[in-house]
Amino acid sequence: MAVRIAGARVLVTGAGRGLGRVFTESLLTRGAAVVYAGTRDPAQVVSPGAVPVRLDITSAADVAAAAARCADADVLINNAGVMRFAPVLAAPDLQSAREEMETNYFGTLRMCRAFAPVLAANGGGALVNVLSIVSWFANPQNSSYCASKSAEWALTNAARVELRRQGTLVTGVFAGVIDTQMGAAFADLPKTSPQLVVDQALDGIEAGAEEVLCDDRTRSVKAALPDDLTLIYPAHQARWDALHPG
């Protein structure tokens, strides 16, 4: 179910900055017929040729309006997300976890549900969810975000099963820390350029890939999943214990 970018009509969420802006500009460079740039503030859309669409994926009204406005879309790229840098138990309350789940999981789910019939009507196309290396493990310092991305990974796999019959390619894009405003908080970790992530994601869509692993660290973590309790978590346990002695 490979999907060509040239001539495609694409909606990108979270398109006002960072990875979403790079997706928007790269799609235009590759010859997409229309690129709808979904963002809470359409004034953030500065990419020449992009079509701004007011879109807060946590708003049912915004999502419904976007589905009507972008009724010719044959590719949806769910890129919008939030990160609150909170643990699951040591956080003072549930607010951060609720915000991350509401955007990263429920917002993405809302978009998938609204656009599945749109994609079907336009021949199947592709649904792309930008996930994360932490879909596969929990960093205790940021674990409520990890939980939301793990839930989004499960959503992606379930959507693939449900949408295969209508001919929709469902692709999960996984990366470690990306060199964007969101990734700036991780000063001690290597960063992947957003252009590299976008190039691999778009190449993956055109190749019919169901998963795109964008960097060596991501590929290493995915390979380690059968032994995650011994290969992944000891280092995180040591870091947590050092930061929270006693």
Does residue 218 carry a pLDDT above 90?
yes
The percent of residues in the chain predicted with pLDDT above 70, rounded, is 100
Distance, CA of 70 to CA of 72 (rounded, Å): 5
How far is it, in rounded angstroms, from Cα 129 to Cα 39? 16
Beta-carbon contacts of residue 60 (< 8 Å; ≥ 6 apart) = 110
What domains are defined for the chain?
Answer: 9-243 (3.40.50.720)
What does the pLDDT read at residue 244? 84
Least trusted range by pLDDT, from 69-73, 75-79, 143-147, 229-233: 229-233
Write down the mean pLDDT value for the chain.
95
Instruction: Answer for the pair 120, 103: CB distance below 8 angstroms, yes or no.
Output: no
What is residue 210's three-state secondary structure?
coil
More confident residue, 55 or 245: 55
pLDDT recorded at residue 143: 97
76 by DSSP, 3-state: which? Answer: strand
Query: Encoding tokens for residue 74?
Result: 């044959």
Which SS3 state, helix, strand or coil, does residue 59 take? coil
How large a percentage of the chain has pLDDT more than 90? 88
Q: Which residues are catalytic?
A: 145
Confidence band for 246, pLDDT divided at 50, 70 and 90: low
* Tens-digit pLDDT profile for residues 173-189: 999 999 887 777 777 77
Mean pLDDT, to the nearest integer, of 4-8? 98
pLDDT at 219: 97
User: Tokens 């879909």 identify what position?
Assistant: 135
Residues 6+ apart with CB under 8 A from 206: 2, 3, 4, 5
- Does residue 2 carry a pLDDT above 90? yes
Q: What is the rounded (10 degree) CA torsion for 203, 207, 213, 219?
A: -130
